[in-house]
Amino acid sequence: MPSRHNRFRFRRRGKHKTLICEPGKCITLDQLPEGCRATVIQNNNLITIERGLYLGAPITMLRNNDDEPNVIIAVGDARYALDRRIARTIKVRIT
Amino acid sequence: MRNRPTIALAGNPNVGKTSLFNALTGSHQTVGNWPGVTVEHKSGICHFNNKVYEVIDLPGIYSLAGESPDELVARNYILNEKPDIIINLVDASNLERNLYLTVQLMELGAPLIMCLSMVDIAEQNGIFIDTEHLSSHLGFAVIPLILNKKFDITPILQKVEEYLSQPPVPSTIHYDEVVENHLENIRQIVLKAGLCVPEGEAFSCSEKDAASDTNDLVTKSRWLALKLIEGDKEISSLLSEEDRTLVEKERTAIAKHRGQEPAAVIADDRYAYIRGLIKDVVKRKGKRRQTFSDMVDRVVLNNIIGLPVFFIVMYLVFLIAVKLSQPCIEIINTYLGWLFVEQFGNLLTWLSVPHWLTYFLSEILGGGLVTIGSFVPPIFFIYISLSILEDSGYMARAAYIADKFMRKIGLPGKAFIPLIVGFGCTVPAIMATRTLEKPRDRVFASILTPFISCGAKLPVYTYLVMLFFPQRANIVIFGLYLFGIVMGILTGLLLKKTVFRSEPGNFVMELPAYHIPTINGIFMHTWHRLKSFLLRAGKTILLVIIVINILQLIQIPTGNRGEKTPLLELGGKLITPILQPMGIKNDNWPASVALISGLFAKEAIVGTLQGLYQNSGGKESLNYVASNIKEGFGSDASAIAYLIFILLYSPCAASLTMLFKEHGFKWMLFDFLYLTLLAWMVATLVYQILAFNTLSVVWFATIGVIFIFIYIILQSIGKKYAIKT
């Protein structure tokens, strides 16, 4: 069961949906719900690796609205707006 | 060594490089472009202990991969110019990411000093760095700084002096054992091929150098081998076909071993080194919590409040530029007019200078200086606003909010920044498009920048709108700005469907922490931009004013009875019939001439109108200029159409030159023709709607046909000249 801390609600196409962070689950970065923490497990995009999304990097999803073309993530102490198309190519494991 | 040692400043964007550069060089700075590219080049002079140093501010970059023009410029400068010392500015509040560039500089074997900026913000966030320990790991000095307070540069310059006589030796970064083996194999290929140290512009060295396996040679050959693993095309092209095959074999082996692209392997291992370093030297107090910037972003990037905040900020920029500059323009006009025209003219008359020379020096040159002076306030306030937005960190958020809309017109959100810079001047706006990764996006964004009314257009709008619509001046000016944006969006949609049909580039943008901008920083930033603008535009405006006055003086016979007409009037009258559908009557030829002078510099439109209407209509006094212009245009409809034409037609010569430099003649010509034709069509459409008559229908049909014609041409351009993405 996910902990209470890992439950986040966010708006999606006008409907309230509850997305749950399931620790250990492997998903693409664009699927990571807001507030969830994860670790990068696969990334071949050099630009994002250079910005700190290397294998094993801990990240937090700060903003992920389906109707927006970008997501906002926290990588270490930096904050990035990242294209959803790139986020789709990065695999993460929820922690 | 050169007579004057060179210090280069390198670091990520938004780490305070400019603040350090300003502190080191004071006002002794020059701004230009790097040779061959329009990436800004800032250099200055620093004096310390009776020695003179040249300080170079390299572009803010995240890596030396050479993916963007900025990265390539920084890398080539370090390789070819070999600065005596590189000061690597590192953001202490974001140490891990910043150290990635440091590691690459270390691999280059560059003589380094590290300055840790924003130490105060790091401590606020619970990050404490043991600088001594970090220095012992890296192999060079680490100096902590707080850049928003007045800081002492002596320790930095003392270290520079020390390192000039005894350069530091940076530590070597070790990769995983298998990668190290392949790296060594490639290094041997590099040495065999004679590619070791980039000398001047070539990446070759003498056989003697290659034979002596010195420490420097090991470092350089190792760096070249790393670049080959990363797949650097520039370095790879220097190898023979046979050597390239050997390198490719090694790369494939690395990829097989790690299940990743070789470039990703190298980047990952660099971060592994950095992570180890951070564990050793950084102490965190308390859990990683929400920062102040995170809290502000919850409001600024909020789904509901974010957009209104964005529009309020943009409106404030506009309001500051218009409202604050209006009284300043009046003061400048009055006092500069009194000084350069009246008093200077009186002095010349008192000195018995010939009348023609007095007229030239006081009326033409003096009047020209007054015109230039009146442009300073709006441009100054626009640059101040832009500097505050940039230095505070809001500009990146604005780009994020804008991304949603920018995508709809086929551009990434990052393209919003050059467009915002366009409010100041189109030239730096075109230059700012270099931050976009894809060539398609750079060209597309450059074509759209002229739709954003630059600071030079503001005095033209202000003058004409105050003349025709004094009661609703603010609304009309704001409406013009908005209309330009709407036309830019429509053009974006049109070009997305025809010329630029591929997808826009990916959006990866750092949202820097919010800062309270320093007054010194804002004014330095503004001053440099304003100075560069005045030097560039001022010369053009003055030249245009002189040329126009000379052309007005040259008269050629046109009638049977020996009647003479000024050359300028003749030229103006020649193009006026083309402008007739947009309400420019035949006797309003000065308006046509003003549009020609606007091609040199937009600000020259006001000067030209004033100059020509001062002489026309027989009313010589300055007080009658305004009524002469009103009489010339005849109606508000033609004034509106004229303003719209000014808003939309071809950018000035300086902007066209910049387009030519950045994207070539083809795109410069495209921008010139498309914008001028569009301006004529829209201005005609607006005039014919406002002053509707039976002939208007014919003009509507004509514009419709022209539009279809343009659409077909744009489609064929899209097919023939599609930019590779």
Which residues of B, range 254-273, sit inside 8 Å of A by Cβ? 260-261, 263-264, 267-268, 271-272
For residue B404, list chain A residues with Cβ-Cβ distance below 8 A: 68-69
Task: Write out pLDDT tens, residues B53-71.
Answer: 999 988 888 888 766 777 7
Residue B555's pLDDT band, with cuts at 50, 70 and 90, is confident
Residue B627 confidence (pLDDT): 84
Fold of B6-165: Rossmann fold (3.40.50)
Q: Calculate mean pLDDT across residues B203-212.
A: 48
Count of A-B CB contacts under 8 Å: 104
Task: Write out pLDDT tens, residues B644-677.
Answer: 999 999 998 778 877 887 888 899 999 999 999 9
**Whole-number Å distance between alpha carbons of B598 and B592:** 10
Task: Write out pLDDT tens, residues B395-449.
Answer: 888 888 888 888 888 888 888 878 887 887 787 788 778 777 788 888 999 999 9
For residue B260, list chain A residues with Cβ-Cβ distance below 8 A: 44, 55
**Whole-number Å distance between alpha carbons of B299 and A69:** 19
For residue B267, list chain A residues with Cβ-Cβ distance below 8 A: 46, 49-50, 54
Contact B263 A11 (CB under 8 A): no
Q: At B100, which amino acid appears?
A: Y
- In this structure, how many other beta carbons lie within 10 angstroms of the beta carbon of residue A7? 14
CA distance B507 to chain A (A): 5
Helices assigned H by DSSP within B282-305: 292-300
Contact A81 B403 (CB under 8 A): yes
Q: In chain B, what is the straight-line distance between the N-terminal and C-terminal CA atoms, in Å? A: 43
In sequence order, the β-bridge partners of residue B55 are B7, B44
Which residues of B, range 125-154, sit inside 8 Å of A by Cβ? 125, 127
Q: Which two tokens stand for residue B50?
A: 């009776």
Find the residue in B nearest to A50 (Cα). B267
Contact B508 A77 (CB under 8 A): no
Q: Calculate mean pLDDT across residues B79-90.
A: 90
Tell which residue, B256, B278, B258, has the closest CA to residue B103.
Answer: B278
For residue B263, list chain A residues with Cβ-Cβ distance below 8 A: 46
Residue B287's pLDDT band, with cuts at 50, 70 and 90, is low
- Residues whose CB falls within 8 Å of the CB of residue B16, separated by 6 or more in sequence, listed in order: B89, B91, B117, B118, B145, B147
For residue B62, list chain A residues with Cβ-Cβ distance below 8 A: 50-51
For residue B272, list chain A residues with Cβ-Cβ distance below 8 A: 54
For residue B63, list chain A residues with Cβ-Cβ distance below 8 A: 50
Find the residue in B nearest to A10 (Cα). B303
CB of B94 less than 8 A from some CB of A: yes
Q: Do domains B6-165 and B177-284 have the same CATH topology?
A: no
Q: What is the ipTM of this complex?
A: 0.81
Find the residue in A nearest to B263 (Cα). A46
> Which of A43, A52, A65 shows the shortest C-beta gap to B264?
A43
Residue B329 confidence (pLDDT): 76
Residue B201 confidence (pLDDT): 43
For residue A76, list chain B residues with Cβ-Cβ distance below 8 A: 94, 96-97
Q: Are strands A91-94 and A78-83 parallel, antiparallel or unpaired?
A: unpaired
> For all residues of chain B together, what is the average pLDDT?
84
B437: helix, strand or coil: coil
Tell which residue, B245, B657, B113, has the closest CA to residue B430.
Answer: B657
The angle subtended at Cα B396 by Cα B508 and Cα A80, nearest 5°, is: 40
Q: Is pLDDT at B38 greater than 50 in this prediction? A: no
B117: helix, strand or coil: strand
**Whole-number Å distance between alpha carbons of A78 and B297:** 13
CA distance A26 to chain B (A): 18
CA distance B291 to chain A (A): 9
Residue B603 confidence (pLDDT): 77
Q: Is pLDDT at B74 greater than 80 in this prediction? A: yes
Residue B433 confidence (pLDDT): 81
When mean pLDDT is compared across A22-31, A47-56, B233-242, B431-440, the lowest value belongs to B431-440
Find the residue in B nearest to A79 (Cα). B511
Q: At B167, which amino acid appears?
A: P
Residue B282 confidence (pLDDT): 92
Contact B400 A72 (CB under 8 A): yes
**Whole-number Å distance between alpha carbons of B194 and B239:** 9
Asked if residues B725 and B502 have their Cβ atoms less than 8 Å apart, the reply is: yes
The CATH code for residues B177-284 is 1.10.287.1770
CB of B176 less than 8 A from some CB of A: no
Q: Calculate mean pLDDT across residues B261-279.
A: 92
Q: Is pLDDT at B616 greater than 80 in this prediction? A: no
Asked if residues B84 and B118 have their Cβ atoms less than 8 Å apart, the reply is: no
Contact B96 A76 (CB under 8 A): yes
Domains of chain A: 4-94 (2.30.30.90)
Tell me B64's DSSP state: S
Q: Using alpha carbons only, how large is chain A's radius of gyration in Å? A: 13
Q: Is pLDDT at A18 greater than 50 in this prediction? A: no
For residue B395, list chain A residues with Cβ-Cβ distance below 8 A: none
Q: At B471, which amino acid appears?
A: Q
Q: Is pLDDT at B100 greater than 60 in this prediction? A: yes
**Whole-number Å distance between alpha carbons of B415 and A33:** 28
For residue A72, list chain B residues with Cβ-Cβ distance below 8 A: 297, 301, 400, 511
Q: Is pLDDT at B604 greater than 90 in this prediction? A: no
Residue A5 confidence (pLDDT): 47
For residue B406, list chain A residues with Cβ-Cβ distance below 8 A: none
Asked if residues B457 and B602 have their Cβ atoms less than 8 Å apart, the reply is: yes
Residue B30's pLDDT band, with cuts at 50, 70 and 90, is low
- Residues whose CB falls within 8 Å of the CB of residue B390, separated by 6 or more in sequence, listed in order: B525
Contact B267 A65 (CB under 8 A): no
> Which of A55, A79, A81 shows the shortest C-beta gap to B268?
A55
Q: Which two tokens stand for residue B313?
A: 């900020």
Q: In chain A, what is the straight-line distance between the N-terminal and C-terminal CA atoms, in Å? A: 13
Residue B40 confidence (pLDDT): 63
Residue B139's pLDDT band, with cuts at 50, 70 and 90, is very high
Residue B200's pLDDT band, with cuts at 50, 70 and 90, is very low
Q: Calculate mean pLDDT across residues B89-100.
A: 92
Of residues B356 and B480, more confidently modeled? B480
Q: Calculate mean pLDDT across residues A38-61.
A: 91
Q: Is pLDDT at A59 greater than 70 in this prediction? A: yes
Residue A11 confidence (pLDDT): 42
Q: Is pLDDT at B532 greater than 50 in this prediction? A: yes
For residue B261, list chain A residues with Cβ-Cβ distance below 8 A: 44, 46
When mean pLDDT is compared across A13-22, A65-74, B280-289, B612-621, the lowest value belongs to A13-22
Residue B29's pLDDT band, with cuts at 50, 70 and 90, is low
B33: helix, strand or coil: strand
Residue B639's pLDDT band, with cuts at 50, 70 and 90, is very high
Q: Calculate mean pLDDT across residues B472-480.
A: 88
Q: Is pLDDT at B681 greater than 90 in this prediction? A: yes
CB of B93 less than 8 A from some CB of A: yes
B563: helix, strand or coil: coil
Contact A50 B267 (CB under 8 A): yes
CB of B294 less than 8 A from some CB of A: yes
Task: Write out pLDDT tens, residues B159-197.
Answer: 999 999 888 888 888 898 999 999 999 999 988 887 765
Q: Which two tokens stand for residue B496?
A: 């997305």
Contact B264 A46 (CB under 8 A): yes
The proportion of chain B whose per-residue pLDDT surpasses 70, expressed as a percent, equals 90
Asked if residues B495 and B714 have their Cβ atoms less than 8 Å apart, the reply is: yes
CB of A62 less than 8 A from some CB of B: yes
Q: Map tokens 């949202």 to a residue.
A: B511
**Whole-number Å distance between alpha carbons of B496 and B412:** 12
Residue A13's pLDDT band, with cuts at 50, 70 and 90, is very low
SS (H, E, C) B338-369: HHHHHHHHHHHHHCCCCHHHHHHHHHHHHHHH
Q: Are strands B112-117 and B6-11 parallel, antiparallel or unpaired?
A: unpaired
When mean pLDDT is compared across B281-285, B286-290, B552-556, the lowest value belongs to B286-290
Contact B271 A52 (CB under 8 A): yes
Q: Domain segments of chain B: what residues?
A: 6-165, 177-284, 306-534, 541-720
Contact B294 A79 (CB under 8 A): yes
Buried b (16+ CB within 10 A) or exposed e, B582-614: bbbeeebbbbbbbbbbbbbbbbbbbbbbbbbbb
Q: Is pLDDT at B90 greater than 90 in this prediction? A: yes
Residue B517 confidence (pLDDT): 81
Q: Which two tokens stand for residue B552?
A: 């007005």
Residue B714 confidence (pLDDT): 93
Helix H or strand E segment including A46: helix A46-50
